[in-house]
Structure 1
Amino acid sequence: MGTPKQATVTMGTSRMFRALLVLGAVFMIFLIIVYWDDVGAANLNFLPPVSPGPRHRPPSPAKQKAQTSRPPSFLSDIDAFVNQFLEPGTGEPTDPSPVDPGNQSEKAEERYIPRQEWKVHQTPLAPELVERQEKRLQVFREVCANESIWFPHKNRSFDDIPIDELRHLIVDDRHGVIYCFVPKVACTNWKRIMIVLSESLLQDGVPQRDPMAIPHNLTHNPDLHFTFTKFWKRYGKFARHLMKVKLRKYTKFLFVRDPFVRIISAFRNKFEESNNEFYTLFGKLLLNLYGNQPTPPENVYESIKMGIRPTFYQFIQYLIDHQTEKEKPFDDHWRQVYRMCHPCQIQYDFVGHLETLDEDAEHLLRLLRVDNVVEFPSVGNRNVSESSWVSDWFKGIPAEDLRKLYKLFEPDFRLFGYPRPDSILND
């Protein structure tokens, strides 16, 4: 039988142990409450740890049916939360390669291979590339800080941006990357890169590693991209705060191009080609409002057959018409970049230009330390943007209308360092 002193010590130890149990239980209940909205009782499944990267084998034609990864689990959200406090852009997985003693077949061994560490940073980046990137960042930051330069929503805070206007921001928690995609600026291939990095697309149970093997329709499938607009469903009232945490810690990038060249590219892709969707949504409207066609052809195929097609000047008239956005906001393919990516509210770390895509893509992948994981697809010849080529497109358009068009896209010209096209504006 112990002494009273011993009994007191034993009782104190027991109380401390019970207190720790209670605190632990409270903490677990808190975590479940925070994540319950996204997970649900049926989704508390435990996934194997993240792999360093499987070897990609091109799928056979019979196996082209792609599979999307399972919904985020409770543990994947915890991993994402922990990853926020790692150095962004390291490219290191949160867990080591999985060990599965029960699956030692040759096929299983081929699924996981070490990253190609020899490929990372073989040579230093050229000083001119680093300097060019610094100048680009300096330009848009100076424009945002210059009180004499004004454009819509320039001075609003990040908290004031409506959630729908954040739909262009794609997040990769594995590597600490946020990409603002801009249509008509190589966004299809950059989306492919983001799918590969996030491992959101499975092929035969293995994450897809070849960007060009991802079909075009899947590339733009919103289910394969974790965007800021999805934060509300997953995190509820904590969404905006977590967005700002990730913006502060992750590497943020976007790619842009000459605004007038982007307008030309959008017109060629959506109105010169047999795109019935855009003809139905916009082409008939252009012909009706600006082409003296009270009953335009019903579809793009009839339009081609009858030789009644929207013209580039009709498209310009549509863009500069004050009534246009009173009816419906600009489509993303010609919406201004500053309205999609919010450069005055988000401090981007890298601004690429389509005119220097190859160099910028290599620079960025090295900056993110993922150049041993994925390579940017080679896209061959791209639309040139020489002044003579642009002049040919805008030839015959009244100078007054061109100045209105420039005013509409002037923020993009100034933010991203593109010179004012005086050769066509002063004619």
Structure 2
Amino acid sequence: MLSGECSSTSRLLDPLCGRRRLVVSAMTLPCTFYCSLWFLLLLGAGSLLLLVHLQDLSDTLQQQQNPGAVLVVAPGWPVQKEQSSDSAALVGFDLGGVFPGALRFEMSSAPILPSPGPGQPLAFQRSAHKASSTSENQQAKSPRPTPCDVHSVEDRQLQGMAQTQASRRRLLREVCAKYQPGATERPVSRRQVSRVYVEDRSSLLYCEVPKAGCSNWKRVLMVLGGSANSTRSIAHDDAHYANQLRRLDGYDQEGVAERLCSHTKLLFVREPFERLVSAFRDKFESPNSYYHPVFGRPIISRYRANASRYALRTGAGVTFREFVQYLLDVRRPVGMDIHWEPVSQLCSPCLLRYDFIGRFESLKEEANFLLRSIGAPSNLTFPDFKDRNPKAERTSSTIAQRYFQQLNSTERQRAYDFYYMDYLMFNYPKPYKDLY
């Protein structure tokens, strides 16, 4: 029985004895193992601190080697603008002051950052995650990530166009105040709005100035009004004679007054001498079943000595000098025509006070600016195709000068006097230095 008790007791004590043996063996491990472990831990911590220091040093050296580089802090994601009192304010130019119902464009007033030099990329300043042992001075050197507001090219263009419009309207008011004082207080007659087309859906009033993009403007108005889906699908004769557009003189007095107050009044002009030459080339140098017999025959009969029977019968072959003689004659054998009538008379700018004054010389750019401003469909842009005499070169200043060389200095001066108010109102320079 004692042997059984001893055996059971030995079984209980064996695990305890095994644990004591493990502890004793662990205590007898060599000291070099612990030394190696502590050495590895210290080496890892030192390497981490050295890496952080070298990273800051590389950023500093890069900035010193590239003094012209722009340092932009890459903000975290998502980006949120800080609403602080010293943040860059938004400078807005309200196109409602340009014309009724216009959109308001806003631009940031933050300065424009300089561009890097050729082959020099933008330098991004990295904010390293530093260990807790980094000093407070090193943390202070790291700039805080903030969004960088930059003027876009579109913003600058919008601001420039708005300023241009304000300048053109101001000049027109000054000229009108000097030469036609009190014009805005006079009643508006039907004749004075007979060339103004109405598009009520977009609240537009457009005064037609022939040879200054009027055909394409009528196409745009038809698309805005819903009578056509595309400007490309509208033929030249349909744009002018399909009766899809209503003119302002077709309304009663109350309707005229209401639209003059509520709608955007639009006018596009062109350098007067170029417009005159363009009209002459279109109506007299190309076959025309209306202008040759109606204008050509009386012009040839009045201003050409020894005219042939063919010329007198057809009215074909009018020269530019004969055409100018007719234009300047106070006793014209045939009346005025809208294609060469001065804009100052055709559209009554002193009376109607146009909200937008565009120029043919930058027609597409300014027309698209207006369309975007009134909220036109994004797929509607101003067309630039030429469907009448498409093979003929567009009349330029060089071509216009070639035609005016056929006149003597007195005739050029008288032609300039004829369009003097157009030159003055719309700030076109004198086409010749000897003009006064």
Q: TM-score range by the shorter chain?
A: 0.5 to 0.7
Is 1:390 equivalent to 2:415 in the alignment? no
Shift of 1:133: 2.0
Cα distance in 1 for residues equivalent to 2:306 and 2:377:
52
Shift of 1:418: 0.6
* TM-score, normalization by structure 1: 0.61
Cα distance in 1 for residues equivalent to 2:315 and 2:334:
24
Partner in structure 2 of residue 219 of structure 1: 239
Partner in structure 2 of residue 341 of structure 1: 347
2:411 to 381, 389, 401: 401
Shift of 1:291: 1.2
- Aligned letter for 1:377? P
Q: Which has the larger radius of gyration?
A: 2
Is 1:178 equivalent to 2:178 in the alignment? no
Partner in structure 1 of residue 280 of structure 2: 267
- Aligned letter for 1:313? R
Cα distance in 1 for residues equivalent to 2:361 and 2:172:
18
Contact 2:195 2:208 in 1 (8 A): yes
- Equivalent residue runs for 1:322-341 within 5 Å: 322-324=330-332, 328-341=334-347
- Equivalent residue runs for 1:99-248 within 5 Å: 123-124=154-155, 126=157, 127-146=159-178, 149=179, 155-156=182-183, 160-199=187-226, 201=227, 208-221=228-241, 223-231=243-251, 239-248=252-261
Cα distance in 1 for residues equivalent to 2:336 and 2:240:
19
Cα distance in 2 for residues equivalent to 1:330 and 1:312:
16
- Aligned letter for 1:254? L
Partner in structure 2 of residue 48 of structure 1: none
Question: What's the C-alpha RMSD, in Å, of the aligned pairs?
Answer: 2.7
- Aligned letter for 1:338? S
Shift of 1:336: 0.9
Contact 1:184 1:266 in 2 (8 A): yes
Shift of 1:389: 3.7
Cα distance in 1 for residues equivalent to 2:433 and 2:419:
16
- Which deviates more, 168-177 or 368-377? 368-377
Partner in structure 2 of residue 366 of structure 1: 372
Cα distance in 1 for residues equivalent to 2:156 and 2:296:
46
Judged with a 3 Å threshold, the aligned counterparts in structure 2 of structure 1 residues 371 and 272 are, in CA distance, closer, same or farther, namely same
Contact 2:298 2:334 in 1 (8 A): no
The superposition leaves residues 140-195 of structure 1 with CA deviations (integer Å, 9 ceiling, x where unpaired) of 1111112xx36xxx754575443133221111111111111101111000000011
Q: Which runs of 5+ in 2 are unaligned?
A: 1-99, 104-151
Judged with a 3 Å threshold, the aligned counterparts in structure 2 of structure 1 residues 244 and 162 are, in CA distance, closer, same or farther, namely closer
* SS of corresponding position for 1:331: coil
2:357 to 348, 351, 365: 351
Contact 1:256 1:352 in 2 (8 A): yes
State how many pairs are aligned. 283
Shift of 1:198: 1.2
Cα distance in 1 for residues equivalent to 2:281 and 2:430:
23
Is 1:320 equivalent to 2:328 in the alignment? yes
- Aligned letter for 1:162? S
Shift of 1:295: 6.0
Judged with a 3 Å threshold, the aligned counterparts in structure 2 of structure 1 residues 215 and 125 are, in CA distance, closer, same or farther, namely farther
The higher-RCO structure (CA 8 Å, 6+ apart) is 1
Partner in structure 1 of residue 422 of structure 2: 412
- Aligned letter for 2:276? I
Contact 1:288 1:295 in 2 (8 A): no
Partner in structure 1 of residue 270 of structure 2: 257
Partner in structure 1 of residue 27 of structure 2: none
Cα distance in 2 for residues equivalent to 1:158 and 1:274:
44
Cα distance in 2 for residues equivalent to 1:315 and 1:371:
43
Identity of aligned residues (%): 29
Is 1:279 equivalent to 2:292 in the alignment? yes
Cα distance in 2 for residues equivalent to 1:217 and 1:299:
28
Contact 2:295 2:315 in 1 (8 A): no
* SS of corresponding position for 1:179: strand
Shift of 1:138: 1.6
Shift of 1:88: 3.1
Shift of 1:368: 1.4
* SS of corresponding position for 1:297: helix
Contact 2:296 2:315 in 1 (8 A): no
Cα distance in 2 for residues equivalent to 1:335 and 1:158:
24
Judged with a 3 Å threshold, the aligned counterparts in structure 2 of structure 1 residues 311 and 328 are, in CA distance, closer, same or farther, namely closer
